[in-house]
Amino acid sequence: MKITFALSILFCVIALPVLGELTSQDLEKIREIVKDSENELKAEIEKINEKIDKLEERLRTVETDVATIKGYQTGEQTTTETRTNSIVAIAAAISTAIAILALIVNAFRKDPQLETFSRVIENLATSRTEEKTTQPEGENTDTTSVSQQV
């Protein structure tokens, strides 16, 4: 009995893998399932690739727009700098011309009051020298004639 029992266990151990083997129909079903999932994955990958292509195209247009804006900004900045430099140069030229004209006018023009004061000073100097020679030291001199000249 022990031998029969051991043989039946041995037979079951040998026979069970045979029952567990896949048939060709099972393999075909597995292949179909794998192909279906593969096709679904390919479709999803294609959709993702299309989205990536669209995003890349949008990115290219945005990059082009940014480059265009940078070009405009650089051009405007250069134009603004040129205009500013021109305005500064014009202002410097005008101020230089005005300064030169002012120097020329001042060089040729004599102030009338300055001439009058210089004449009065000369008259005072000459009158004092004359008075010193004609009057003694203790007397006061009359300055009304000098103040009338002023």
The confidence score (pLDDT) of residue 146 equals: 47
Q: Within the chain, which residues score under 50 in pLDDT? A: 146-147, 150
Q: Which two tokens stand for residue 120?
A: 């009065």
pLDDT, tens only, 6-39: 888 887 777 776 666 777 888 899 999 999 999 9
Query: What's the confidence (pLDDT) of residue 65?
Result: 87
Find the angle CA(31)-CA(36)-CA(42) to the nearest 5 degrees: 125
Helix (H), strand (E), coil (C) string for the chain: CHHHHHHHHHHHHHHHHHHHCCCHHHHHHHHHHHHHHHHHHHHHHHHHHHHHHHHHHHHHHHHHHHHHHHHHHHHHHHHHHHHHHHHHHHHHHHHHHHHHHHHHHHHHCCCHHHHHHHHHHHHHHHHHHHHHHHCCCCCCCCCHHHHHHC
CA distance 48 to 57: 14
| Domain residue extents for the chain | 22-125
What integer pLDDT is reported at residue 44 of this predicted model?
95
